[in-house]
Amino acid sequence: MMLRLGDVAPNFKAKTSEGEIDFYEYLGDSWGVLFSHPADYTPVCTTELGRTAALNDEFVKRNVKVMALSVDSVESHKGWISDINETQGVEVNFPIIADEDKSISEAYGMLHPNASTTFTVRSLFIIAPDKTVKLIISYPASTGRNFQEILRVIDSLQLTAYHSVATPADWKDGEDVVVAPAIKTEDIPAKFPKGFKEIKPYLRTTPQPNK
């Protein structure tokens, strides 16, 4: 099975480095980031989990809960966490799932046979409070994830979920946004009182409405 944008993220129960969890209960009303790693004690992933821990305050500020996954055991995860904390100067403060039977990996389409028949690819899912999948990214083993991009996407998803706007290329929180095409130009002033610029009839921009 390969998940698609808009699909409901499968729920699961799992053993993790922080005890047994139910995924939906763990998320509650929060947004979620679920990301997988090929194996414990791998160099790129060590830096990624360290970076995730270092950005804890940024995730909390956005009401996002984070969970990692690999096919190794809880015991292996705990040993790896010690290495991550030591080498990255952090305290890993989120659960790492032990998906030893690969059931979660299969449900989320994290196993790509052309990459590996035994290890998960490095996939990342952003999941909304309604448990729908809003973003899917898969990275090769040699390229570390850009966590500033992940935070940027979360900002965009949260903004566009509650306002009739989209975010343009390279947008960052606080910059102008694009008015949704469904909004008629004559209706923009009432909906977006900060003003707008009409570049083309189909391309209208306005200051970020929640700032």
DSSP assignment of 132-172: BEEEEEEE-TTS---HHHHHHHHHHHHHHHHSSEE--TT--
35 in active site? no
Reduced to 3 states (helix: H, G, I; strand: E, B; else coil), residue 208 is: coil
Give the C-alpha separation, 191 to 197, whole Å.
14
Q: In Å, how far are 13, 140, 208 from 53, measured between CA atoms?
A: 23, 21, 29
Side-chain-side CA neighbours of 23 within 13 Å: the count stands at: 26
Catalytic residue among 33, 45, 68, 121: 45
Give the C-alpha separation, 12 to 17, whole Å.
16
Helix (H) or strand (E) holding 58: helix 56-61
Residues that are catalytic: 45
